[in-house]
Structure 1
């Protein structure tokens, strides 16, 4: 797990502002050695936040996400902790939308261990497979086109299906959270589905691990203030924490003390 430092955040900020930064220039601005900058960049590249090129780095791709199995195998413990906290905020006998994403799949695993009589509507075939193991659950999988890359279902038929319902909770993820609270993703069709889920849920929960903060993505999904609560695994920046407080959005930090 990458423990994001203030220097990491400054590197991301500088590269975001310029598009590309040479290693020597980053070392000069931050008053550290080029070797230190190379180590920092390597760490940030591991989480797809940056891409390294000869002599420098740019932001990670804004148009293409990591492949499904790479995402599924990353930060598994952190996602499980986030999932446990979310599950504690959902009662038995509730109805839910659950979206595409490996963190949402972790939430599904947490729910089947502890919750009774849930009604779940999902466009994620992996979530559907997990929750359908419970005979007391009602599980509905949306219409639409299945993406071969990750088992996500999107399209106009998906949105039409979702718009037939009004549920208690929407549990959603995002590919990127910018420091101003903007939520971004890579696929406009997936974003349209999540926006329909947000519109048709009484309570909206956002589940993201720390690697999503400051990441680059192309499609605007909405703003973090459109959710009732944020669940994550690391402390927020002061600016983002203030924005949530100003808009009455709660946020919860996954407890890692038992590791």
Structure 2
């Protein structure tokens, strides 16, 4: 299939961000929603994307490129978010870090912490924290997702059931206007739910690109999160809800 210029651009965005949203693309290219839906249908039929509610996600076969691109996206913001999160993590504590490029940034920000125990289903996090001799690293077993070094599945969920930690640090693929954390992979969602259930406190690390995006699987609500570390303020209505829920908001500059 020969791709049009717009379809090639859509594919590049999907590979960089992991997913695309119909409304965002229609606004970006100044075309109708129906036109974008046809483009996504063509790309899915050609094997480049998988359709999901409201948009499409990159195929696993190209996900290694997508992961590297995602890691570079908003890199300065992620580093600032990570530093703020790490500053809230005391020495002599236990943590769980899940899958995501922002949680990997948190791992780098923890390299000088002392006497940490970190349990993770992210091989990249484990590799980063191997550079901190004062950190004990435990890798939760499971099925390897080659696209990003994540471990998922029932074995991973069972592994986390063995622990109770001080802090869980998680990322998310999307946050909607109601404050729901959303993702694309049901297996990852099940693991992340288990992680939240095994922590005394929960921190969400997310850059502004996740605001108002859409994904089909619900992970949790911001009402269940103790603190959010991000680079731009939340929408006023959602910020008010967080205040009512007791969810602390930490907005940092890149």
Shift of 1:218: 1.2
Shift of 1:56: 2.5
TM-score (norm 2): 0.79
**Aligned partners of 1:247, 1:55: CA distance in 2, in Å?**
39
Shift of 1:255: 2.9
Matching residue of 2:152: 154
Matching residue of 2:127: 129
CA deviations over 1:110-146 (Å, ceiling 9, x no partner): 010x311110000000000000112221100011001
**Aligned partners of 2:204, 2:179: CA distance in 1, in Å?**
12
CA deviations over 1:87-116 (Å, ceiling 9, x no partner): 11000011000000000000000010x311
RMSD, aligned CA: 2.2
Q: How does 1:24-103 map to 2 (within 5 A)?
A: 48-49=20-21, 50-52=24-26, 55-57=31-33, 62=52, 64=57, 67-103=66-102
**Aligned partners of 2:30, 2:245: CA distance in 1, in Å?**
43
- List alignment gaps of at least 5 residues for structure 1: 1-40
Shift of 1:54: 7.9
TM-score (norm 1): 0.77
Matching residue of 2:191: 193
**Aligned partners of 1:236, 1:197: CA distance in 2, in Å?**
24
Shift of 1:254: 1.0
Shift of 1:64: 2.0
**Aligned partners of 2:30, 2:177: CA distance in 1, in Å?**
28
**Aligned partners of 1:215, 1:103: CA distance in 2, in Å?**
17
Contact 2:157 2:191 in 1 (8 A): yes
Matching residue of 2:110: 111
Is 1:234 the counterpart of 2:232? The answer is yes
**Aligned partners of 1:224, 1:115: CA distance in 2, in Å?**
27
**Aligned partners of 2:116, 2:153: CA distance in 1, in Å?**
25
CA deviations over 1:18-40 (Å, ceiling 9, x no partner): xxxxxxxxxxxxxxxxxxxxxxx
Among candidates 143, 150, 173, match of residue 175 of structure 1: 173
SS of 1:231's equivalent? strand
SS of 1:179's equivalent? coil
Is 1:224 the counterpart of 2:222? The answer is yes
Aligned residue-pair number: 213
**Aligned partners of 2:99, 2:71: CA distance in 1, in Å?**
12
**Aligned partners of 1:51, 1:181: CA distance in 2, in Å?**
23
SS of 1:220's equivalent? strand
Contact 2:144 2:150 in 1 (8 A): yes
- List alignment gaps of at least 5 residues for structure 2: 1-9, 41-50
Change (3 A) 1:255 1:54: closer
Contact 2:93 2:116 in 1 (8 A): yes
CA deviations over 1:39-82 (Å, ceiling 9, x no partner): xx9xx998645234783346996452572112111000000000
